[in-house]
Structure 1
Amino acid sequence: MNRRLFLLSSGASAMAGPALAAPLPVPPSGRIGFRVLRNGTPIGEHHLVFTQSGDTLRVDLHVALLVRLAGISFFRYTAQATEIWSDGAFQSVYSQVNDNGNHLQVQAERIANGYAIKGTHVPRYIGHPNTLPLTYWNKAMLYGTILNIQTAHSYPAIVRSPGWNRLPTADGGSVVAQRFDVTGKLHLSVWYDQYAQWSGLAFHVDGYETYERLPA
């Protein structure tokens, strides 16, 4: 199985808008968590923790997934990343991914003319000034250049919104959120509620994976 949690499509953006949101959509609790399901079966969790210190925002990402087949561990995926924002602007990200034994790292730092980006298999290059990391919590990523924090590739996305849906949550409740479909190399759907809070994710990669939001 080849994980694509952090992939989006290439191509020109079909939506116009700013690359940065103001203010940033930091949840009041300082946390966002999801239960991850594959074909309806829970396989792990995806968490984000937000820490504000003056004008600096730190966002820590933790993902741990395990797929079992007949009770035997079949596939394991973990990811950790740290984003730094200052005065509402994206400054840097550092990620480490274990894709079933394939270890990957990505680094990106803001410089005068954009972002200096490099990855395990990608030599250093300069990314567009409107680059944002593909960590989903900030809807502004749909309007800029998206940095894949697993591969270090960056690209715009083809995005459209078919409307609003009621999504199940991990505690048995529901949330109403706007759906955005991203197409290209990979098709996925991501949802944000009326407060621009990340509320759900769904995609097909060797199975149908969905995210259900955990209680704050």
Structure 2
Amino acid sequence: MKNPLFVLIALWCGAAWATGPTSGEWSFRVLLDDSPIGEHRFTLAASGEERRLTSEAQFAVKLLGVTVYRYRHSATEQWRGDCLRQLASKTDDDGTPEKVDANATGDNALTVATAKGSQSLDGCVMSFAYWNPAIRKQERLLNAQTGKLEAVQVSRAGNGTVEVRGQPVAATRWRIATPAQPIDIWYSAEGEWIGLDSTVSGNRKLSYRLKP
């Protein structure tokens, strides 16, 4: 089941740490129409004045007991303040490989290389870094799977409750409108990223929920 809309998963200057955590770990169950299909884990650690994020995702979608779609993604990101300074990612999207390498060139630029070529991005660039509340102020975000800089619109989309490690938690929803489909990100009252919802091909619901 080839599904390019799963690209959204991978979708994650000079300021200090004020707008985001310096360390943390988010281990999510990934569900498709409320059925578990895998997990996605993020680990953030501080190193001097920089932050390093690693992420690993593994999905398998089954139909009548037969695996019809597989997805594997790994990425390492280096951050200074709220600006991405380095990115290395590898993806196997149901047999289609993708690779992105991005490196800072000077204080305010990033060169992004993929199999299709390279491009230079000026200014402070962020990826789809859901863990960092500064994402709410962005108008463009770098897709860690494809290497594309995507135009986005981020807005508050109301309140609700999200299951967090088996318990309902009051949360605020922020919507990231992308060229493909909107992504809803849930934050706790303390500003921690606690969930994600989106719609993928076939009008199916994709969700991230923190594991117990």
The TM-score, its normalising length taken from structure 1, stands at 0.84
The root-mean-square deviation of aligned C-alpha atoms, in Å, is 2.3
How does 1:15-94 map onto structure 2 within 5 Å?
22-23=17-18, 25-26=20-21, 30-86=24-80, 89-94=83-88
SS in 2 for 1:7: helix
- The match for 1:143 is 137
What pairs up with 1:76-115 in 2 under 5 angstroms?
76-86=70-80, 89-112=83-106, 113-115=108-110
CA deviation vs aligned residue, 1:12-60 (integer Å, no higher than 9, x gap): xxxxxx99673353376x3111111001100001101122232232110
More relative contact order, 1 or 2 (CA 8 Å, 6+ apart): 1
Question: How far is 1:139 from its partner?
Answer: 2.6
| Residue 119, structure 1, aligned to residue 120, structure 2 | no
**Structure 1 CA distance, aligned partners of 2:156 and 2:47?**
34
Q: 1:97-132: CA deviations, max 9, x gaps?
A: 1100111011111222421112223x2111131211
How many residue pairs were aligned? 203
Distance 1:180 1:135 in 2: 13
Q: Is the 8 A contact 2:15 2:81 kept in 1?
A: no
1:4 aligns with 2:1: no
Deviation string for 1:73-99 (max 9, x for gaps)?
110001000011235543111111110
Structure 2: gaps (5+ residues): none
Task: Report if aligned partners of 1:20, 1:140 keep a CA contact under 8 Å in 2.
Answer: no
Kept in 1, the 8 Å contact 2:54–2:74? The answer is yes
Percent identity between the aligned chains?
Answer: 26
Contact between 2:17 and 2:81, CA under 8 Å: does it hold in 1? no
Q: In the aligned structure 2, how far is the partner of 1:89 from the partner of 1:188?
A: 21
Unaligned regions of 5+ residues in structure 1, if any?
9-17
TM-score (norm 2): 0.85
Q: Is the 8 A contact 1:27 1:197 kept in 2?
A: no
Are 1:214 and 2:211 matched, yes or no? yes
Greater helix share, structure number:
2
Q: 1:19 to 1:156 in 2, by over 3 A?
A: farther
